[in-house]
Amino acid sequence: MENKKAENNKKINIKIIFPSALAAILSLTLIWTYLIFIPRKTENAATDNGQKFALLNPARKLIAQKDLIINIQPLRNELNKFEGNQNISIYFEYLPTGANISINKDAQFWPASLLKVPVTMAVAKKIEKGEWKWDNKLVLMAGDKDEKFGTLYKEPTGSTFTIEELVRRSLKDSDNTANFILVRNLELKEIEEVYEHIGTGDFFSSAGDIGAKKYSANLRALYNSSYLNEGSSQKLLGYLSETEFSEYLKSGLPENIAFAHKIGIDEERKVYMDSGIVYASQRPYILTVMISGKEKKDAQEIMKNVSELAFGYVNNYSENQE
């Protein structure tokens, strides 16, 4: 009798335990399925989404589509009026897309003060390598003095200046004396390394001249911070944006538009050049114009006209124009 009672209790316990155990197993199975399969599905979805646009330029996410200008043919048509005149060379490059225009691309010009940009790039690279510091001082020698541009030549021979001050004067004031101090303390190969990096190993013609398109590579390298680090590139472009030479390309721009640029003037040779980055709102571009054989006022008028055309097209561009 007792055995039968115990047996019945056992059956009752089994009936109670079995459904509970089954429920627990089902719960664990559901949890395990969620942990194993759901994350994989999510991960695959993320991967698929990433691969969906894998062939596109990732930088497009940083630029509004309306600012991705590739149709510059109307501007090219305007600038073509200078085509065939080997005394004028123009290079325009829309930085967000790389769309560009070259007018008389084979024309060559004496570079004058435009060379101060690659020189200061070589200086900045030397500092990045730890060989110099911005606050190191260099000595002014008698042979460094040049009266054509800048005022540093007025300082006594033997005076010392920090490297940063010399770079600032060289770019902002186009000070020849500051430039010569820097060049004297650099090795030629250090300047040549700049040319090699930006893809202009044959930077000059045999006569020492250069074209607008080739020179513009200096500005592209600074804008993209491809040769120098971000801090150095920003510093040099900052000094270039502070220059007060406003009678050339800058004269064709609104006053509130930043323009990091370098002029190159040799009035004896009648060479007038201006090259820089125009920071139009969300639409930056490079513009370089080189002119020879013209009177100063004529060169200024041409540059103003070219600058107005370029800015007007970029600033007013809309997809409806296409």
Q: What is the pLDDT of residue 20?
A: 55
Is 70 exceeded by the pLDDT of residue 38?
A: no
Is 60 exceeded by the pLDDT of residue 28?
A: no
Backbone phi, psi, residue 266, to 5°:
-140, 95
Give 215's pLDDT tier (boundaries 50, 70, 90): very high
Higher local confidence (pLDDT), 60 or 18: 60
Q: One-letter amino acid identity for 178?
A: A
Q: Which residues contact 310 (CB under 8 A, 6 or more apart)?
A: 75, 92, 252, 278, 285, 287
* Interatomic CA distance for residues 277 and 92, integer angstroms: 10
| CA 142 from centre of chain | 37
Q: What is the pLDDT of residue 14?
A: 47
Is 90 exceeded by the pLDDT of residue 23?
A: no
* Interatomic CA distance for residues 24 and 27, integer angstroms: 5
Q: Could you give the angle at which helices 188-197 and 116-128 cross, rounded to 10 degrees?
A: 100
Q: Which residues contact 60 (CB under 8 A, 6 or more apart)?
A: 68
Is 50 exceeded by the pLDDT of residue 183?
A: yes
* Owner of token pair 């007007």: 312
In contact, 291 and 285? CB cutoff 8 Å: no
Q: What is the pLDDT of residue 32?
A: 47
Give 52's pLDDT tier (boundaries 50, 70, 90): confident
Q: What is the pLDDT of residue 204?
A: 56
Angle at 100 between CA 256 and CA 55, to 5 degrees: 105
**pTM exceeds 0.85 for this model:** no
Over the stretch 65-120, which tens digit does the pLDDT of each residue have? 999 999 999 999 999 999 989 999 999 999 999 999 999 998 999 999 999 999 99
The CATH architecture annotation of domain 68-321 reads: 3-Layer(aba) Sandwich (3.40)
Domain boundaries, the chain: 2-55, 68-321
